[in-house]
Amino acid sequence: MVDHLRPGSSCIDTGISQGAPATDLDGHLRPCGKGVDLGAYEFGDCAAAPAFRRGDTNGDGNMDLSDPIAVLGYLFLGNSAPPCLDAADLDDSGILDLTDAVYSLSSQFMGGPPPESPFPGCGVDPTPDDLGCEAFQCR
Ligand SMILES: [Ca+2]
Ligand SMILES: [Ca+2]
Ligand SMILES: [Ca+2]
């Protein structure tokens, strides 16, 4: 653990978030604290980013018609938010909107492109955004 930052290190919160991966080498979310830390590891005790499968909006293990319907219900009917908003952001635009539901329908039923990574396996979001992923059960 010698390559991890110590408390009080001048590297803490002084990195540049632009281009920084969404997680450090331990899989912990970054930034952890006020800003991204310099180096490969974030200092602190931030939670590991949950792995998820993009497109499986309701987290039931596969992508089917119920997933875009869950997105539409959340966006337009006031239903509760999906547990992992990143999984619902099929085009990885960082924004959850009608486009994502259409993307899912197109992908499943009209020969459209598959969801952006991570898909079809589980993984973490390769592009940091504000959506976040509270919980996802990979199976
Ligand atoms: Ca599903
Ligand atoms: Ca989107
Ligand atoms: Ca993203």
Four-point Cα dihedral 96, 45, 118, 53, nearest 10: -70
Query: What pLDDT does 2 receive?
Result: 56
Query: What pLDDT does 1 receive?
Result: 52
Evaluate whether 9 touches 23 at the Cβ level (below 8 Å).
no
Phi then psi dihedrals of residue 48, to 5 deg:
-70, 140
- Which pTM value belongs to this model? 0.72
Q: Which ligand is nearest to the CA of 68?
A: 1
- Ion ligand 3: protein residues whose beta carbon lies under 5 Å: 92, 125, 127, 129
**Length, in residues, of the chain:** 139
> For the chain, which ranges sit under pLDDT 50?
none
Query: What pLDDT does 12 receive?
Result: 87
Hey, which residues does 28 pair with through a beta bridge? 48
Candidates 3, 45, 4, 52; CA nearest to 28 is 45
How many angstroms separate the alpha carbon of residue 3 from the centre of ligand 2? Answer: 36
Q: Which ligand is nearest to the CA of 75?
A: 2
Q: Which ligand is nearest to the CA of 118?
A: 3
How many angstroms separate the alpha carbon of residue 45 from the centre of ligand 3? Answer: 22
